[in-house]
A and B are shown apart, each in its own frame.
Chain A
Amino acid sequence: MGNNNPPRLELRHASKSFGRVRALGDGSLALWPGEVHALLGENGAGKSTLVKLLAGVYQPDAGELLVDGQARTFANPAEARDAGLAVIYQEPTLFADLSIAENIYMGRQPRDRIGRIRYDEMNREVDALLQSLGVNLRAERLVRGLSIADQQVVEIAKALSLNANVLIMDEPTAALSLTEVERLFSIVRALRERDAAILFITHRLDEVFALTQRLTIMRDGLKVFDAMTADMTIDSIVSKMVGRDLDTFYPKADVAPGEVRLSVRNLTRDGVFKNVSFEVRAGEIVALAGLVGAGRSEVARAIFGIDHVDAGEVHIAGKPLQLGRPQAAVRAGLALVPEDRRAQGLALELSIARNASLTVLGRLVKHGLISSRSENTLAADWGKRLRLKASDLDAPVGTLSGGNQQKVVLGKWLATGPKVLIIDEPTRGIDVGAKAEVYRTLAELVREGMAVLMISSELPEVLGMADRILVMHEGRISADIARADANEERVMSAALGASPSLLGKAA
């Protein structure tokens, strides 16, 4: 397939680090015209970083980028665009208040002799473009109110009108319905016939086989494999995506599980998750695994009462929990350490002591006023237990490292004396040393009889820390795997929604 010619776009041995975090170690990719190329990998494998290098959002620390065989560098997204690259993100970036035609032609509208915009010509061209894509949209329509799928179509039309010959689509199907996916596929196939090169990122393996001719698999920031899609099976893809040594820094405590602390029955939120049932016992860590968007965090938010549910019930230590009210959840003994601690878990400008005491202010009140001495005592106490590295408890939380911020959030919730701890992505964005300390803390808590529900996208963490692994796929629990039976292939297959027969072969 045109392998004699140079690829339209090629990335060779690119790397990119942010501070000490290495997001991409060795990324390589070759895109030929007239092919749809799948880019696969677990969450955090470096796909997004690679896309941003291609799009000119980031610049690589090392490595080469070639367009039609010529070495190029993109200092900003405009340069990538001018070289014929277009990126379609999962959430399109459009002007909601302007028409489709204006969105496509912003900054380069056709003009008459005295500089006035020629709306008739612009609308005519956009109508023709939309019609060539086979979609029922009109150029004069406002973008506000268009579905995500239609907005993606507008982005594709914009790319075409810019004469882009490389389209990079970052998980375009994640938010689409079945019919919308069908329409997108027919558009992508039509583009392929026009000799465009298309990079298609997805988590759905059935889409890889339905659409792509070639695939590249990444793991831990490295390109590990590429092949023609026709030569692959779901098994072989999954085994290439996972398969690495388990790290050894998980101090998993062996605790005999006690009574049931958290019991969830048929929890359903329409369109988000359905019939989710499970139990967590005292002294047990249950991991909720799955891909981003499978509905894991949403389940946690629903249990805690932040989001409403359409059906189902939750019991804490045998007592029914009134859903929809976070205060009731806290009183019943539930604690939630959220995924995005900067936005949801901390008041960054406030001091460490103030943050740590936010959940228990009622206990610290003397004569109707908050006693800052008891606030500091509380913070110092938890700081010692969690080995918080902070010189001054009055310093703003925003000045701490990611790992120490996580400890403050943890301390804040442990101060409420919870029976069940739900922790969402406990080690996201913190360095290895801090990770080990978070794991140690979790192990200690479990030894003291805490019931922990851990949501995590990092497979080694899930396998290393959990007594049981619940895997979610598109809003349902697709597998319940005991620690002894767990391995990366089984979890990954369940997360990707592969059928059990294939799963048997993979194991």
Chain B
Amino acid sequence: MTRHSPAMPAVHAPKPKRRNLLADLVRSREATLFVVLIALVAATAAVKPEFLNLQNLRDVLLNVSIIGLLTAGMTVVMLMRHIDLSVASVVGVSAYSVGSLFVMFPHMPIAVAMLAGITIGLAIGAVNGTLITFGRVPSLVATLSTLYIVRGADYAWVHGGQINATSLPDAFSRIATGSLLGLPNLVLIAVVVLFAMGVYLKQYRGGREHYAIGSNPEAARLAGIRVERRVMIGFLLSGAIAGLAGVLWLARFGTVEASTAKGIELQVVAAAVVGSVAITGGVGTILGATLGALVLGVINIALVVLRVSPFWQQAIQGALIVAAITLDTLLARSVARRMMRKRDHG
């Protein structure tokens, strides 16, 4: 029974591995998404050259900015194996509230308007976070209820009313219409926020904790992470971003009512999933989520340009989500199989 020979070479020097650029590119989901995005634009432009006009691109960017912001908030929550379905209602109520504030105080500064929207979002995010961390309500149930409660309260309050672009000051409308270096201000705002979120998730301890919690909640607790606090922060972030998105929505469309932004929570989840944010937590980046939102946004406009019926547009979106998830699962499985083989032979 001499299983353990005493003479063991204790040190195997790690071999320096050369980076294979192509392999990295294939492995990176962001790169894949980027290629898909370019292919989509190129294919549509090949069929309908008029697709590539400035107005279309501007529309895509403006639409995607708002959905992209919401997707970033959703990403933080989904990283921790949670979901926030209430975002659409938050956008709706924030847009209408800020609109009413402008009706009451026409000279309200834009910064105050944004703060008001963010505060509303924070409040609803706090309710979600409290239900989930202290009430131990599953996030799907908790945010589904706040989705309905907030939307219901919105209907009761608005009572068929409407805010029109004429009630909004010009300075405010310029968020959507004005531009800097050719990029609409609204898009610039979104880029700044998305960039900040990306830095937070990648570069800060707190950001990494979102990943740790979704990857292995038990290990996160053992590593001394305050899980409840971090989950709460995630829902506050998601709520605040949804509040801000509501203000931007008001600036972009001018006209808001009680049913504003209804149903977009599923578009947001779809964008995150297409952007390879794992619904099972622990995996995903802001860049990926934003590219997911862009791909879905481009497809929407492309389908319109190609004169596909709106019913088919939805079906195609659904098919895309299934394809994205299937691809993810297949990739994960093939990686696992490769690892097993390596273990058996090595």
Contact = CB atoms under 8 A, between A and B. Distances in A.
Interface of A: 77-78, 93-98, 102, 106-107, 109, 111, 115-117, 127, 130-131, 134-138, 144-145, 147, 178, 181-183, 185-186, 189-190, 206-207, 210-211, 499
A77 B5 CA distance: 36
Contacts of B5: 182
Given A95-B215, A107-B225, A135 B12 contact: yes
B218 A93 contact: yes
Interface centre among A78, A107, A130, A182 (most CB of B within 10 A): A107
3 closest A-B pairs by beta carbon, nearest first, are A97-B282, A95-B215, A134-B11
A147 B208 CA distance: 24
B216 A145 contact: no
B204 A211 contact: no
Nearest to A109: B205
B282 A134 contact: no
Contact of A106 (B11, B14, B212): B212
A107 B204 CA distance: 10
B10 A134 contact: yes
B208 A102 contact: yes
Given A95-B282, A107-B205, A107-B209, A131 B216 contact: no
Nearest to A144: B335
7 contacts: A95-B215, A97-B214, A97-B215, A106-B223, A111-B205, A131-B11, A131-B13
A137 B14 contact: yes
B112 interface: no
A192 to B, nearest CB: 12
A356 to B, nearest CB: 32
Nearest to B283: A97
Given A134-B10, A136-B12, A210-B4, A95 B219 contact: yes
Nearest to A97: B282
Given A107-B205, A183-B8, 17 more contacts: A93-B222, A96-B215, A97-B211, A107-B223, A117-B204, A117-B208, A131-B11, A134-B10, A136-B12, A136-B15, A137-B14, A138-B17, A147-B339, A147-B343, A186-B10, A206-B4, A210-B4
B224 interface: yes
Nearest to A111: B205
Given A136-B15, A138-B14, A210 B211 contact: no
Contact of A136 (B3, B14, B282): B14
Contacts, number: 99
Interface of B: 1, 3-5, 8, 10-15, 17, 199, 203-205, 208-209, 211-212, 214-216, 218-220, 222-225, 281-283, 335-336, 339, 343
A6 to B, nearest CB: 29
A131 B1 CA distance: 30
Contacts of B209: 106-107
Contacts of B339: 145, 147
B282 A206 contact: no
B203 A106 contact: no
Interface centre among B205, B214, B216, B223 (most CB of A within 10 A): B223
Contact of A94 (B204, B214, B219): B219
B10 A190 contact: yes
Contact of A109 (B17, B208, B220): B208
Given A106-B225, A116-B203, A94 B216 contact: yes
A137 B12 CA distance: 10
Contacts of A95: 211-212, 215-216, 219-220, 282
A485 to B, nearest CB: 25
A135 B199 CA distance: 32
Contacts of B216: 93-96
Contacts of B220: 95, 106
Contacts of B212: 95, 98, 102, 106
B283 A116 contact: no
Contact of B4 (A127, A135, A182): A182
Contacts of A183: 8
Contacts of B281: 97
Contact of B222 (A77, A102, A109): A77
A93 B222 CA distance: 9
Interface centre among B215, B225, B281, B282 (most CB of A within 10 A): B215
